[in-house]
A and B are shown apart, each in its own frame.
Chain A
Amino acid sequence: MDTVVKIDKLVKKYKELTAVNEFSLEIKKGEIFGLLGPNGSGKSTTIGCILGLLKYDSGNIEVFGKPMKSDSYDSKRKIGVIFQNVAVFDELTVYDNIDYFCGLYIKDKETRKKYVEDAIKFSGLEDFTTFLPKKLSGGLLRRLNIACGIAHKPELIILDEPTVAVDPQSRNSILEGIVRLNREGATIIYTSHYMEEVEQICTRIAIMDTGKNLAIGTTEELKNMIKTGETITVEIKNASDGLIEEFGKLPHVIKTEYADDHLKIHYSKGERNVLHLVDFLKKKDLKFGKIYSELPTLNDVFLEMTGKELRDKA
């Protein structure tokens, strides 16, 4: 697989603050790569460095196999960016905005016209082409922002938190659109602090915090990196401390939590944990209500990983 973006030990400082710290990653062609991290974790700064907009202190960045410079026009032609904030001319209509930004990449008039129409269709803006941006709703404005970023049919599309402050319906539409673009051949870099979104669409994910790359891999790989493999919750009334301690001694159990008649048992790994637990409950002749199992989410992964980081800091 071809490497589209390669970052090697990137360091970017804002005076005393290190926004990106020894950050490395490699993104392959055809991936939907997620950069996941809370606000201020260094995602947008990393994107700024990839695009050649920001100065950085050390490290190397290659895009399409070449260092990214202000005059890397061949590379720039293949990149499309959808920024967090809507970036369009307020005085131009929907069509004019898309045509203008497409014109920065595509000089041929006929090709551009076709591309602009494709972008309008893709973003579902057919009925709003003569509207000024201020007349559009928040969701439509986001779609215009996306259309401006992808109209020139880029090979690499970078989306920097495109769903911030977007209603659920528009968010779904945006996520579906991203998957469609990927199916059509584009490599995607998607930054977000919404775990569910990243888990939903990304083929690989890097978890960032305080400018560092905490982990990188597929969703499953990331989940396997943390201790918790499965969490089983049992509804059980008036469990004594002694009983809870016995649960804690079961195979693969990392820890137990008991509150509001619900016992949460965290397992590291192991197979058929629910069956073993039910056997244990029967053996003890305990009465129990609901019992259900949850696999870890990226939220669990992130919390466990950043929790460590925060503890280290303290």
Chain B
Amino acid sequence: MFHLYKYRLKSFLKNREMIIWSMIFPFLLGTFFYAAFHSITEKSEKMDPVKLAVVCDEKGQFAEFIDSMKELKFLDPVFVKDEKEGKKLLGDEEVTGLVICGGSEMKPELDLKVRENGIESTILTSIFDTYLRNYQVITDVAKKNPLLITKTVEELYKDEEFTKNEPLGAKNADPFVTYMFALLSMTCMFSANFGHENTKQIQADQSGVGMRRSISPTSKMAAVFTDLMAALTVEMVIFAALYFYLGKVLGVVMSEEYGKVFLSGFLANLLGTSLGYFIGVILKLPAKTKEAIISAVVLFMNFMSGLMIQNIKYIIEKKAPVINRINPAALITDSFESLGAIDDPHKYVVCTIGVAVWAAVLMILSIIILRRERYDHV
């Protein structure tokens, strides 16, 4: 058995095309994600509250709003007596902006002055525009139909809500890290290519090597097992290398519970490989077509799990959560996320079991088909 495993492993390692795509692609994509998103995240993480001079009635509604923004660490307000004092602070570069609240209680007017255009002035503009728009809407509803106020407030904040991560003890739930977990999931799912390659080399109707092996006295199960182990060895090395590259080189905060990470990685790679086996044995199509189908299926599953657009997964969670419960890529992403980002042991267990069940079902079905005694054509 070791003899067969050794040479299968060797043939995988010397398959340059396969190794390059399996290894280089995720590394490049990880580096790309790092370059594209990490600076943004880092900037927003390190951004101090925007210093702002405020001229308004300290007991009014606008002052309450300013206080709430202060609590959320968006703003660092300084209440001043008048516009002159505010302008002085602005001129001395003590504050980034000056806001003067005027108008009436029913129709407030805000006069915003900023020191210079930039990300902080954009934040200020956005905050006060939203405030005025929402204030106006609520006031209008209160006038026309006070019973609808609660519903209106809910609607106004709905959009804001669904773009937030679920607050499950989040320790690192920023979009950048989520992309990295989706990348790990994609890498594991693309192990399907190894599974497909194994089906080519074991079925008599797929290759000459498959024919040779089919007529040998080595049982199909032994051949499947050694091939699978060889594929998983390569996949786990790639997975470990990527995990450490993301964690140690790119500095992504990853879980250091290596036992659990290894288990998740192993099951995820087994699932990916099993998917490749399944597609390889169930479809009677040319190998290149099957490879294209594998790529399409894996990318679609990963798209649905938030690889390309992070919000997709949360939209699905709101509209059709069952998809996230059965999408293998989402399960893999969630299992890594529950270890590395949101520290949710229950979710980890549920997702890991889900991944294991998928892997087992696909592999058992594949083996049943692979064990057939004779072929229609060779």
Contact of B4 among A54, A70, A103, A149 (CB under 8 A): A103
Tell yes or no: A271 within 8 A of B by CB: no
The answer for the CA separation of A100 and B216 in the assembled complex, in Å, is 12
B18: nearest chain-A partner, CB-CB: A91
> B207–A92 contact, CB under 8 A?
no
| Segment at the A interface, from B6-14, B114-122, B129-137, B298-306 | B6-14
Is A96 close to B, CB under 8 A? Answer: yes
- Interface-located stretch among B24-32, B101-109, B344-352, B369-377: B369-377
Within 8 A of A (CB), among B219-269: 219-220
Interface contact B209-A52, CB-CB below 8 Å: no
Stretch at the interface among A80-88, A123-131, A248-256: A80-88
Does A292 sit at the interface, judged by CB under 8 A?
no
Answer yes or no: A164 CB below 8 A from chain B CBs: no
Number of interface residues of A (CB under 8 A): 35
> In the assembly, what is the distance between CA of A71 and CA of B221, in Å?
12
Q: Once the chains bind, are B208 and A86 in contact (CB under 8 Å)?
A: yes
- Give the chain A neighbours of B374 by CB distance below 8 A: 52-55, 70
Q: Which A residues touch B11, using CB under 8 A?
A: 89, 91-92
A99 surroundings in chain B (CB, below 8 A)? 3, 7
Nearest residue, chain B, Cβ from A132? B14
**Interface set, chain B 199-219, CB cutoff 8 A to A:** 201, 204, 207-209, 211-219
A84-108 vs B, Cβ < 8 Å mask (1 yes, 0 no): 0111110110001001110111010
Whether B14 and A92, one on each chain, are in contact in the complex, defined by CB atoms closer than 8 angstroms, is yes
Q: Does B35 contact A (CB under 8 A)?
A: no
Could you tell me the distance between the alpha carbons of A160 and B217 in the complex, rounded to whole angstroms?
20
Q: Tell me whether A51 is interfacial, beta carbon within 8 Å.
A: yes
Establish whether residues A53 and B14, one from each chain, have CB atoms under 8 Å apart when the complex forms.
no
Q: Per a CB cutoff under 8 Å, which of A14, A69, A109 touches B373?
A: A69
Taken together as a complex, chains A and B put the C-alpha atoms of A55 and B374 apart, in Å, by 5
Q: How far does the alpha carbon of A53 sit from the alpha carbon of B376 in the complex, in Å? A: 9
A280 at the interface (CB under 8 A from B): no
Residues of chain A within 8 A of B148, CB atoms compared: none
With A89-B209, A92-B11, A100-B7 already in contact, the answer to whether A70 and B216 are too (CB < 8 A) is: no
Residues of B within 8 A of A103 (CB): 3-4, 7
Report A-chain residues with C-beta under 8 Å of the C-beta of B204: 53
Residues of A within 8 A of B377 (CB): 14, 54
Most buried by B among A83, A85, A100, A148: A100
Report the Cα distance A69→B320, complex, angstroms: 50
Q: How far is the CA of A181 from the CA of B11 in the complex (A)?
A: 30
A81 adjacent to B212 (CB under 8 Å): yes
- Give the docked Cα–Cα distance between A85 and B212 (Å): 11
Residues in chain B near residue A101, CB distance under 8 A: 212, 216
Rounded to whole angstroms, the CA-CA distance of A87 and B204 in the bound complex is 11
B145 contacts chain A at the CB level, 8 A cutoff: no
Is B126 engaged at the interface, CB distance under 8 Å to the other chain? Answer: no
A104→B378 contact, CB < 8 A: no
The reply to whether B214 and A83 contact each other, CB–CB distance below 8 Å, is no
- Taken together as a complex, chains A and B put the C-alpha atoms of A77 and B4 apart, in Å, by 16
Given A51-B215, A55-B374, A92-B14; 15 other pairs, CB 8 A cutoff: A14-B376, A53-B215, A54-B375, A54-B376, A55-B375, A55-B376, A86-B208, A88-B208, A88-B209, A91-B14, A92-B7, A100-B3, A101-B212, A109-B3, A148-B212
15 contacts between A and B (CB under 8 A): A48-B378, A52-B374, A53-B214, A71-B219, A73-B219, A83-B208, A87-B207, A87-B208, A88-B208, A91-B11, A92-B7, A92-B14, A99-B7, A100-B7, A103-B7
Taking beta carbons and an 8 Å cutoff, which residues of A are in contact with B?
A: 14, 48, 51-55, 69-71, 73-74, 76-77, 79, 81, 83, 85-89, 91-92, 96, 99-101, 103-105, 107, 109, 148-149
**Interface pairs A-B: 6 shortest CB-CB:** A87-B208, A104-B216, A91-B14, A70-B373, A73-B217, A76-B217
